């Protein structure tokens, strides 16, 4: 077994999207090879309706998949193909934009005004960029959860883990998407296939991830379960942890425990031409997409 080195930890940065939704961006609109096949990750948690209720009015998508995971509140969605629905707490929507779709997402808070959730963008390989659009709307009750003897809980949203398989299928980048809670003070190791790029996103509590290397910066020497491991300083809420190559990660939960997303996928390793929610392989393909938006031919007829 080989421990994945921690390449980087960084805090998600506040930004604004849609019609004025205040959110935090962990990564996006930077080097697309950094976390290939993933392009962007937004944390749209907010407890103040005036900062999110304007939502994300009609906008186009092509060449990507968007994965929305709701923790609190609701998100009403609709598209140019006539699909409509509402995501509630614990629900997931995996939208394959493919050849093109016009889409809107309108968030609403719960009784306390909380609107909590995440959106991940996954790239599509060139062979699938013009495939037919499709939705996979998954209710929280359909997502399997595994509970280990030490109290560790893992929701398997996509992929297979600990003998359970998530309900989303047919995704090009062969991703794994896990929602993990590790109780206070527990040290836990998770396997990740070596061929996958991987990151963790902490959204509750704090933790430190064991590091296979000794990078510049402060390291802590701690005795954990009888083994001395090198770990970085504890990282807290809204922290991205990017991993290098290996087949496992080890996390030490902080005094209040930790909850984080662990996401990985097979890199596509193709050229990326990207502007907003349209991601193609070449500038010519990107220009063609925007020309089609202008002349009304962006949405392709169903075959």
26 class by beta-carbon count within 10 Å (0-12 exposed, 13-18 middle, 19+ buried): buried
**Location of structure tokens 């962007």:** 40
The answer to whether the Cα torsion of 231, 116, 67, 62 is positive or negative is: negative
Element (H, E) at 287: helix 283-295
Looking at residue 215, what is its pLDDT?
45
* Tokens matching residue 186: 């527990």
Structure tokens at 107: 């968030």
DSSP 95: E
How many helices and strands (H and E) does the chain possess?
1, 25
pLDDT tops 60 at residue 224: no
Q: CATH homologous superfamily of domain 6-265?
A: Jelly Rolls (2.60.120.10)
Write out pLDDT tens, residues 64-115.
999 999 999 999 998 888 888 899 999 999 999 999 999 999 999 999 999 9
Domain locations in the chain as residue ranges: 6-265
DSSP-assigned states of every residue in 198-259: EEEEEEEEEEEEB-SS--SS-EEEEEETTEEEEEEPPB-SSEEEEE-SSSEEEEEEEEEEEE
The answer, yes or no, to whether residue 217 has pLDDT greater than 60, is no
Mean pLDDT, rounded, for 285-289 = 97
Q: What is the average pLDDT score of the chain?
A: 91
- Would you state the pLDDT for residue 213? 64
Query: What is the separation of C-alpha 171 from the centre of its chain, rounded to a whole number of angstroms?
Result: 14
Question: Tens of pLDDT along 240-285?
Answer: 999 999 999 999 999 999 999 999 999 999 999 999 999 999 999 9
C-alpha to C-alpha distance for 113 and 108, rounded to whole angstroms: 8
Check the CA dihedral 15-17-22-28 and report its sign.
negative
Q: For residue 34, is pLDDT > 70? A: yes
Distance CA 37, CA 65 (A): 10
The separation between CA 76 and the C-alpha centre of its own chain, rounded to angstroms, equals: 19
Question: What are the C-alpha distances in Å from 295 to residues 58, 70, 237, 284?
Answer: 17, 35, 44, 16
What CA–CA distance (Å, rounded) separates 134 from 61?
A: 12
Percent of the chain having pLDDT more than 90?
A: 83
Report how far residue 235's alpha carbon sits from residue 213's, in angstroms, rounded to the nearest whole number. 18
For 135, the 3-state DSSP assignment is strand
User: DSSP 3-state assignment of 270?
Assistant: coil
Average pLDDT over residues 220-225: 42
Does 233 have pLDDT greater than 70?
no
Of residues 80 and 221, which shows the higher confidence score?
Answer: 80
Structure tokens at 147: 């509970």
Residues with Cβ within 8 Å of residue 23, at least 6 apart in sequence: 14, 15, 16, 17, 42, 43, 44, 45, 46, 52
């Amino acid at each position: 077994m080989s421990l994945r080195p921690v390449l980087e930890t960084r805090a998600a940065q506040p930004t604004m999207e849609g019609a004025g939704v205040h959110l935090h961006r962990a990564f996006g609109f930077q080097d697309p090879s950094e976390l290939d096949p993933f392009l962007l990750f937004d944390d749209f948690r907010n407890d103040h309706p005036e900062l999110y209720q304007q939502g994300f009015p009609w906008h186009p998508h092509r060449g990507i998949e968007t994965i929305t995971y709701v923790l609190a509140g609701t998100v009403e969605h609709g598209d140019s193909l006539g699909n409509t629905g509402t995501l509630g707490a614990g629900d997931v929507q995996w939208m394959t934009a493919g050849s093109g779709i016009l889409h809107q997402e309108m968030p609403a808070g719960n009784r306390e005004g909380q609107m909590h959730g995440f959106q991940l963008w996954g790239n599509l390989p060139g062979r699938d960029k013009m495939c037919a659009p499709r939705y996979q709307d998954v209710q929280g009750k359909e997502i399997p959860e595994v509970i280990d003897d030490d109290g560790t809980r893992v929701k398997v949203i996509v992929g297979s883990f600990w003998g359970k398989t998530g309900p989303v299928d047919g995704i090009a980048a062969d991703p794994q998407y896990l929602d993990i809670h590790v109780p206070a003070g527990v040290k836990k190791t998770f396997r990740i296939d070596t061929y996958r790029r991987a990151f963790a996103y902490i959204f509750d509590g704090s933790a430190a991830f064991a590091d296979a290397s000794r990078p510049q910066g402060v390291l802590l020497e701690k005795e954990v379960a009888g083994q001395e491991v090198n770990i970085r300083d504890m990282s807290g809420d809204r922290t991205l942890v990017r991993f290098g190559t290996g087949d496992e990660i080890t996390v030490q939960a902080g005094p209040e425990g930790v909850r984080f997303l662990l996401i990985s996928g097979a890199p596509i390793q193709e050229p990326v031409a990207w502007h907003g929610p349209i991601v193609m392989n070449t500038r010519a393909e990107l220009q063609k997409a925007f020309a089609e938006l202008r002349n009304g031919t962006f949405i392709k007829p169903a075959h």
